Chain A
């Protein structure tokens, strides 16, 4: 890889689906032909700047290691990972809530009263912080996807998961009982690349912020 090519890490999935259309017509628009293919390194409209398409959970590691100089990732992912990154801006889009959700009719008080509470989640760190703040204890059931199934099938009493519109929750007969935190897309940068070459990275970061705001 040439040191002169700047790589930006974009998330695949929900955030990426929102992000890519926002960049259409900007200097960082992604090459449409490459996007249709299966390649994960996509040229942009700016020569010397390319985009890596990565899973959200992997993305911070690529940026922290300096492979990608900049990246866009949800603050929920950042909060779960103890990783050294600069967080240059809250981009505002991809906003969602991190919520405790249970089957319709199950209240927060009922969950509090359980002698052995089981919570399924992809966000153990945020869940543990909330439990500690509330003075509660619970057994955490770590899951990596489809957490909504856990209360329905008896794997857990409730889940802690991201909620954007609430459609998926409703489809599974679940409701939010309380909001633990909020998440949105953040522009992150490799500490070394940004501090050692701000003249190179700052204009690119500003272009991204302008394109996405």
Chain B
């Protein structure tokens, strides 16, 4: 019988207090910006995904809530003829761990910004980035890095070349590894190979401040991605003047994590030296249309469990003793 590490951490006094304090402060920030809390049920009785923690309730297969965005999308699509523009959430999700060190129970706080189709999404994207920029100060991180990306920078060229399925997955996996040589290997012999390899090299050439966007000029798809570049430039122009001290803004052109879900701008929050991102989010305009609602949406999720781990293992990264 395989030996499995128990992935159900108990939070003792310090961590439990920190969780409660952070949840309260973060939900307060979101409420102050007009976000209203929704609390979807912890137990799912439909559309049970593979990664969820499942069990039988009598004869019924049920699962524990595994993702707030998906749970909220179901609630909103079923119960609201027009979307509430701003919703927030806090609580635990339960997922089977993909890596041995991951916990099953994960604490999260997050928000969703929802609009009817056709409204300009730019203001909402900047609003979310501004909110995320305020979070390191609230939780007492001495320094943080906000990565701005855009899933369309990879998605649109792949679609333009008619690349789908396994081959597209191989290209995305290579980009995720930041390995242009793997992109070349994956596309060997394909008619779009030279263009997509040049594009991958452009995306991976820099990981720095706003000047990183200039790398897009050397991509064969620079014209195709003109709107995305302009959107990122405008976002940076809005954010840079209000950048808090100790927060660094970087442009990550090769951010492909969650590419199957995200459709536009992406956000990721890191602490210097942290092994995992502390928050992630972005625009996902295909979710609600898939549920029969012509709405577009973006949001982010703060991984409180990772922050609790970081406070325990790297207290030097926080302002006061954690």
A binds B: yes
Taking beta carbons and an 8 Å cutoff, which residues of A are in contact with B?
Answer: 3, 65-66, 84-90, 186, 189-198, 202
New A-B contacts (18) at CB < 8 Å, excluding given A195-B252, A196-B272, A197-B272: A3-B314, A65-B101, A66-B275, A85-B177, A87-B177, A87-B181, A88-B178, A90-B179, A194-B178, A195-B147, A195-B207, A195-B270, A195-B277, A196-B270, A196-B271, A196-B273, A197-B273, A202-B207
The A interface, classified by DSSP as helix, strand, loop or mixed, is mixed
Are B177 and A86 neighbours in the complex by a CB distance under 8 Å?
A: yes
In angstroms, Cα B275 to Cα A198, docked, is 13
Q: Which of B181, B250, B268 has the most CB of A within 10 A?
A: B181
Compute how far the CA of A192 lies from the CA of B208 in the bound complex, rounded to whole angstroms: 15
User: Cβ of B181 and Cβ of A90 under 8 Å apart?
Assistant: yes
- Contact of A198 with B207 in the complex, beta carbons under 8 Å: yes
Q: Are B274's CB and A88's CB within 8 A?
A: no
Q: Which residues of A contact B207 (CB under 8 A)?
A: 195, 198, 202
Cβ–Cβ contact B181 & A89, under 8 A? yes
Interface of B is mostly: loop
Give residues of chain B (231-252) contacting chain A, Cβ–Cβ below 8 Å: 250, 252
Nearest 8 pairs of A and B residues by beta carbon = A192-B275, A87-B179, A196-B270, A66-B275, A90-B181, A87-B177, A86-B178, A198-B207
Q: Which residue of chain A has its CB nearest to the CB of B174?
A: A87
Within 8 A of A (CB), among B103-151: 145, 147
> In the complex, which residues of chain A have a beta carbon less than 8 angstroms from the beta carbon of B179?
86-88, 90, 186
Residue in A3, A87, A189, A197 whose CB lies within 8 Å of B182: A87
Listed by A's residue number, 19 A-B pairs whose Cβ atoms lie within 8 Å are A3-B273, A65-B101, A66-B275, A84-B99, A85-B177, A86-B178, A87-B177, A87-B181, A88-B178, A88-B179, A190-B275, A192-B273, A193-B275, A194-B178, A195-B252, A196-B270, A196-B274, A198-B207, A198-B208
Chain A residues closer than 8 Å to B252, beta-carbon distance: 195
